[in-house]
Structure 1
Amino acid sequence: MKSIGVVRKVDELGRIVMPIELRRTLEIEIKDAMEFFVDGDKIILKKYRANMACAITGEVTNQNKTYANGNLVLSPKGAELLLGEMESNK
C-alpha cells in the first residue's frame, strides 16, 4: 500500500473529502459510485462497476458479452464504438 501524504478528517456526517489530484488520477467523476471493502483494520474504496457493465459505455444490457477470457465486457454499442476507433487508427 502506498501513502500519498494526505490526511483528512471525518466531518460530523461521516464524510471525507477525496483530494482532486487523486480523483483525477483514478478518473473518479462527480456522482460516481464508490464501493467499500474492509480488510482487517483497513478500509478500501473502489470505483463501483456493476456486474457485466460495458467497459466503454457503462451500459448493463442482456446483450453484453465478455471478451479476452472474461477480462472485457462490451455492450453492442460499446463494441461498435471500439471497432470504429480501431479501424480509424489503422
Structure 2
Amino acid sequence: MKPAGIVRKVDQLGRIVLPKSLRSRFKMNEGDSVEILVQGDQIILERYRPRCVFCSTLEDVMEFKEKHICAACMRAVTR
C-alpha cells in the first residue's frame, strides 16, 4: 500500500475529510458508502461493495429480498 502523504486531523465527532483530489481519483461522491477495515494496526477505507451472504464473493452480486447473493449461490439455492 503506497502512502498518499496527506495528513488530516480527526474532529470532535471522530470525522476526517478526504481531500477532493483523492475523492476524484477514486470516483467517490457525496453519499457513497465506505467500508472500514482493520488489518493489524492499520485502518483501511474502501468503497463499499456488497458481498454475497453465502460465499462472500464480490462477483455477480445482486440484491434478493434485501440480501446480497451472487449468481452462483442463487443457482445453487434454486436447485
Common fold by TM > 0.5: yes
Q: Provide the identity percentage.
A: 43
Ranges in structure 2 where 5+ consecutive residues have no aligned partner: 52-60, 73-79
- 3-state DSSP of counterpart to 1:38: strand
CA shift at 1:11, angstroms? Answer: 0.2
Aligned-residue Cα RMSD (Å) equals: 2.1
Higher fraction of strand: 2
**Over 3 Å off, 4+ runs:** none
- Structure 2-normalised TM-score? 0.65
How many positions carry a matched residue from both structures? Answer: 60
Higher fraction of helix: 1
Pair 1:36–1:65, CA change in 2 (3 A):
closer
- 3-state DSSP of counterpart to 1:22: helix
Q: 2:43, 2:70 → 1: CA distance?
A: 32
Pair 1:10–1:65, CA change in 2 (3 A):
closer
Q: 1:7, 1:35 → 2: CA distance?
A: 20
CA shift at 1:61, angstroms? Answer: 4.9
